[in-house]
Amino acid sequence: MARPDRPNPDSSRGGTARGPAAYDPGMRLQAGFVSPAERAAVLTRLGTLKPLWEQRYSTVRPLPPREEQRELLRPVYWLGNWQCACLGYYHPPRGLLDRCVAAEPFPAPLAAWVKRTEAIVHRTMPKAYVPRGWTLNTCLVNFYGDRDVDGKRDDRARVGAHRDFEPGPVASISLGARAVFQFVDAKGAPIRTMWLEAGALQVFAGPKWKDEAFHRVQRVEKHADELPPSIAGFHTRRVNFTFRYVPPEHVVPLARLSAEGRDDVRAYVETLAESSPFWAAALADESRAATAR
Ligand SMILES: O=C(O)CCC(=O)C(=O)O
């Protein structure tokens, strides 16, 4: 794994460019987490994926009041289970049901990352930060890069400030160009800024970083090779895997999603099914179940 070309302004113990800071129970940042063999295997698997350009809201139902339809800034792919944007994402305490659809299991290298990450969490984080039954069972794969717009490249490599609502620690692993990642307060004032380097693991949890702070990706460095898969009109230079936990009782197979939810996601699933045997089978089950209803 290539070493960072400049020192990271942070460290796994919460250090900064000015020196080591006190142990921070809710934050881990570990450089070189991804082995070269894992990186190669993951890049090969990425080459087989067909990421989706999701719309933020349903395209078959009226828009929520005062909202405008928009495409997400970047293509995405979900493994483990899928929280389609149009289903509203998993959002306890009210948004629990009809939000998470069973998706393809993690391929071997991602399963290995999860196993090591869970061990780090259990070894180093306070028990109070880790809900009973917590396991990293869902992964949002974010593709960051430039979108071709009117013959020019539009840099879409960022994410606005938000919180992740899945319970317990969230773990993030990135490949490709490094990114400036920031925790901010409710007014957008930076609390902590860190570089997320290729191959690094970041885990955040607990009241300070997970529940109270928002986080965002400010920018992704430009100089980098294009990463797979090939996406029409898009040039990926960073791929981020964000692992989270959704209680299994809130994950349903496609065939058991509400009728409205199935209508919302059907066109996406048809796209996924073109290259994924898992989604082709889920679609077939769904239409069998619909016929039997
Ligand atoms: O790309 C990253 O480092 C963070 C992604 C993120 O914030 C998210 O998926 O919720």
Protein residue with least CA distance to atom 4, ligand 1: 217
195 C-beta closer than 6 A to ligand 1: no
Q: 293 pLDDT band (50/70/90 cuts)? A: confident
pLDDT for the residue 21: 59
Q: 155 pLDDT band (50/70/90 cuts)? A: very high
196 C-beta closer than 6 A to ligand 1: yes
Transcribe the chain into DSSP letters: -PPPSS--SB-TT--BTTB-----TTEEEETT-S-HHHHHHHHHHHTT---B--BSS-SSSPPPTT----B-SS-EEEESEE--GGGT--BTTTB-SSSEEE-PPPPHHHHHHHHHHHHHHHHHS-GGGS-TT----EEEEEEEEEEEETTEEEE---EEEE---SSS-EEEEEEES-EEEEEE-TT--EEEEEEE-TT-EEEE-HIIIIII-EEEEEEE-S--PPPSSPBTTEEEEEEEEEEE---GGGEE-GGGS-HHHHHHHHHHHHHHHHH-HHHHHHHHHHHHHHHH-
Task: State the Cα–Cα distance between residues 279 and 286, nearest whole angstrom.
Answer: 10
pLDDT for the residue 10: 45
Q: pLDDT tens for residues 97-108?
A: 999 999 999 999
pLDDT for the residue 292: 83
Averaged pLDDT for residues 97-120: 97
pLDDT for the residue 15: 42
Task: State the Cα–Cα distance between residues 202 and 63, nearest whole angstrom.
Answer: 35
Task: State the Cα–Cα distance between residues 163 and 12, nearest whole angstrom.
Answer: 21
265 C-beta closer than 6 A to ligand 1: no
> How much is the pTM?
0.92
Domains and CATH numbers, the chain: 27-250 (2.60.120.590)
Q: Taking 90 as the threshold, does the pLDDT of residue 172 lie above it? A: yes
Q: Taking 90 as the threshold, does the pLDDT of residue 195 lie above it? A: yes
141 C-beta closer than 6 A to ligand 1: no
Q: pLDDT tens for residues 253-285?
A: 999 999 999 999 999 999 999 999 999 999 999
Q: pLDDT tens for residues 29-86?
A: 999 999 999 999 999 999 999 999 999 999 999 999 999 999 999 999 999 999 999 9
175 C-beta closer than 6 A to ligand 1: no
From 164, 240, 245, the mutation candidate for ligand 1 (largest count of ligand atoms within 8 A of CB) is: 240
Protein residue with least CA distance to atom 7, ligand 1: 216
242 C-beta closer than 6 A to ligand 1: yes
pLDDT for the residue 248: 98
Q: pLDDT tens for residues 225-253?
A: 999 999 999 999 999 999 999 999 999 99
Cα torsion 108, 110, 111, 115 to 10°: value is 140
Q: Is 73 exposed, middle or buried (0-12, 13-18, 19+ CB in 10 A)?
A: middle
pLDDT for the residue 222: 95
